[in-house]
Amino acid sequence: MIKKWWHDKVAYQIYPKSFYDSNGDGIGDIPGIISKLDYLADLGIDILWLSPCYQSPLADQGYDISDYYNIDPRFGTMEDMEQLIAEAKKRNICILMDLVVNHCSDEHEWFQKACQDPEGKYGKYFYLREKKEGKLPTNWRSYFGGPAWDDLPGTDKQYLHVFHKKQPDLNWENPEVREEIYKNINWWLDKGLGGFRIDAISNIKKALPFHDYEPDREDGLCSMDAMLQEAKGIGVFLGEMRDRTFKKYDAFAVGEVFNEKIEELPEFIGDDGYFSSMFDFNETIFGGSEKGWYDTTPITPDDYKKCCFDAQAKVANIGFLSNIIENHDEPRGVSRYIPEGDCCIESKKLLAALNFMLRGLPFIYQGQELGMENVPIASIDEVDDIASHDEYQVALEAGLSPDEALKIVSKYSRDNARTPMQWTDGTNAGFTTGTPWLKVNPNYHSINVAAQIEDADSIYSFYKKLIALRKNPIYKETIVYGALEPVWVEQHNLMAYYRKGEQILLVVGNYQREEQEITLPKAYKDVLLNNYHDIAKENRTIRLHAYQVLVLEMCM
Ligand code: GLC
Ligand code: CA
């Protein structure tokens, strides 16, 4: 495997709208991010991924871009963005922007022009079909609910949107569209970006000609999966994009890839892959159902372990995954992966260490380093996220009561991750002096940066130790490149693995509130990390405390 500049890095995702508001309008912004760069540098972050802050109507919170060359005034100006890149660089941090090119906004000029002249140049930028009375071009269900087709305003045509109706799909089959995209990517890379996180990229290749698939719900529609399974040849687009853009700059590109085909992994993230890395979503998609959120099977510690190990095994000799506990599309990881009633400082640290020490690139989502939790939701009217509103309806239609439907939404809503970052125990968690665009989690009085930063036993300090360990020159090679070897896999509620390189490290976590024992095959040389102050042991047998996690350097 060829070594790359980004292999040993630690990344952090910012959701700009909720990170820090510098001017009191209730919306986080780029000057706000600049003012917190020292905080991030101090934590040990090298790569900063910003969710979209381009000009946008914010129908899907910025994942609907109306101008790829401008910053939305709510987030700041282009000068602010340039300053952010420069200030970050001074701290050895590089910026990734979000590349949202499966679709644009219906307010983008391309789409406006397509409406004016659907037979002209811009009509070919989208997927347009003749409108027929009483029949949609295909029976595909958009990810946010309802048919993936809507009327093209002012015309006798319909357009495809696999996401929201304000997110028309761009026609990647059209070389002019691809040229526009590459031009934009290079324009941004010329500004000094480190690279991109690439949104929803599995969707750019459609199976042609379009046709219906077996309906999977009462609505007569089918999920997008069937069509994507059939679509072949995405690699032609991805390879072209890599060669025309990222490769020339040695940029870092991490793909949001779902449903990857295992035989394609080397092409995706091998030495000369389309992407530098791709996210591991094995844990987040676990238990998902075609029917909707209400039918999800909750994940247990044993499931979590299996998901992680399966993902690791798949890419072992191929490339690097980007490991996440949560992102802006998921509930908070501590609320999801820790059994109900057991969410506490120890269990949060356990989850952090088990995930962080996996082979791959760790991504921390804002607030994760504080152990931020899901937000209580009292009514569907409080919810902003468009996916949650759809899933609420789906649950009601399936016969759940409004209370039950709300409970489901509270559990999986994307708003959980999008509540403002908790900086202090002051008004609005110190996020804004105005009215926050989304309600602050009421637990900010106890969970906030100010309370944790000076406390050596806080979750924040634990993350800082994890990062420092990964960067420690003595262990770095092993932690970054060492093989991952699961151990005691059959032991219930125990997750353990070796990282084998110049040293042998053992990462072991007791994923339950009851104590449990392990017997080490050899003595250990050093304790590199422990979420307790002691280790209860007799000879080589360790009695692990509730949710105790250890990183041990083993004797060779
Ligand atoms: C990705 C984004 C998500 C967005 C969707 C459509 O999944 O992470 O937030 O809604 O793409 O762009
Ligand atoms: Ca603001």
Give the pair of three-digit tokens for residue 227: 């069509």
Which pLDDT does position 259 carry in this prediction?
82
How many whole angstroms from 225 Cα to the centroid of ligand 1? Answer: 16
Confirm if 389 and 383 have CB atoms less than 8 A apart: yes
Which pLDDT does position 260 carry in this prediction?
84
- Rounded to whole angstroms, how far apart are CA atoms 229 and 30? 39
- Rounded to whole angstroms, how far apart are CA atoms 131 and 155? 9
Q: Which of 188, 165, 143, 183 is nearest to 53 (CA)?
A: 188
Atom of ligand 1 nearest to the CA of 164: 6
Which pLDDT does position 414 carry in this prediction?
98
Main-chain dihedrals φ then ψ at residue 336, nearest 5 degrees: -95, -45
DSSP assignment of 426-495, as one string? SGGGGS-SS--SSPPPGGGGTS-HHHHHT-TTSHHHHHHHHHHHHH-TTTHHHHHH-EEEE-STTSTTEE
The terminus-to-terminus CA distance of the chain in angstroms comes to 25
Ligand nearest to the CA of 17: 2
Which pLDDT does position 236 carry in this prediction?
98
Atom of ligand 1 nearest to the CA of 103: 12
Q: Which of 316, 113, 344, 141 is nearest to 228 (CA)?
A: 141
- Rounded to whole angstroms, how far apart are CA atoms 201 and 445? 39
Which pLDDT does position 63 carry in this prediction?
98
For residue 258 and ligand 1, the question of a CB distance below 6 A is answered with no
How many whole angstroms from 21 Cα to the centroid of ligand 2? Answer: 4
Confirm if 425 and 450 have CB atoms less than 8 A apart: yes
For residue 391 and ligand 1, the question of a CB distance below 6 A is answered with no
Enzyme catalytic residues: 199, 256
Which pLDDT does position 123 carry in this prediction?
98
- Rounded to whole angstroms, how far apart are CA atoms 422 and 450? 9
Which residue among 204, 329, 413 has the greatest number of ligand 1 atoms within 8 angstroms of its CB, and so is best to mutate? 329
Confirm if 422 and 449 have CB atoms less than 8 A apart: yes
How many whole angstroms from 256 Cα to the centroid of ligand 1? Answer: 9
pTM over 0.75: yes
Atom of ligand 1 nearest to the CA of 64: 12
For residue 163 and ligand 1, the question of a CB distance below 6 A is answered with yes
Per-residue pLDDT of the chain (556 residues), as tens digits, is 899 999 999 999 999 999 999 999 999 999 999 999 999 999 999 999 999 999 999 999 999 999 999 999 999 999 999 999 999 999 999 999 999 999 999 999 999 999 999 999 999 999 999 999 999 999 999 999 999 999 999 999 999 999 999 999 999 999 999 999 999 999 999 999 999 999 999 999 999 999 999 999 999 999 999 999 999 999 999 999 999 999 999 999 999 999 888 899 999 999 999 999 999 999 999 999 999 999 999 999 999 999 999 999 999 989 999 999 999 999 999 999 999 999 999 999 999 999 999 999 999 999 999 999 999 999 999 999 999 999 999 999 999 999 999 999 999 999 999 999 999 999 999 999 999 999 999 999 999 999 999 999 999 999 999 999 999 999 999 999 999 999 999 999 999 999 999 999 999 999 999 999 999 999 999 999 999 999 999 999 999 999 999 999 999 9
As to burial, measured by CB atoms within 10 angstroms (0-12 exposed, 13-18 middle, 19+ buried), residue 48 is buried
Which pLDDT does position 261 carry in this prediction?
85
Which residue among 199, 228, 414 has the greatest number of ligand 1 atoms within 8 angstroms of its CB, and so is best to mutate? 199
How many whole angstroms from 481 Cα to the centroid of ligand 2? Answer: 41
Which pLDDT does position 110 carry in this prediction?
98
Residue corresponding to tokens 């676990």: 286
Q: Which amino acid is at 13?
A: Q
Q: Which of 369, 272, 287 is nearest to 10 (CA)?
A: 369
How many whole angstroms from 508 Cα to the centroid of ligand 1? Answer: 34
Which pLDDT does position 157 carry in this prediction?
98
For residue 100 and ligand 1, the question of a CB distance below 6 A is answered with yes
- Rounded to whole angstroms, how far apart are CA atoms 363 and 355? 10
**209 preceded by a cis bond (ω within 30 of 0):** yes
Atom of ligand 1 nearest to the CA of 387: 10
Give the pair of three-digit tokens for residue 540: 């080589």
For residue 200 and ligand 1, the question of a CB distance below 6 A is answered with yes
Give the pair of three-digit tokens for residue 99: 């590349």
- Rounded to whole angstroms, how far apart are CA atoms 376 and 47? 31
Which pLDDT does position 531 carry in this prediction?
98
| Buried/exposed code over 124-145 (b: 16+ C-beta within 10 A; e: otherwise) | bbbbbeebeeeebbbbbbbbbb
**Strand pairing of 361-365 and 483-486?**
unpaired
- Rounded to whole angstroms, how far apart are CA atoms 221 and 362? 37
For residue 63 and ligand 1, the question of a CB distance below 6 A is answered with yes
Q: Which amino acid is at 201?
A: I
Q: Which of 446, 414, 120 is nearest to 284 (CA)?
A: 414
132: helix, coil or strand?
A: strand
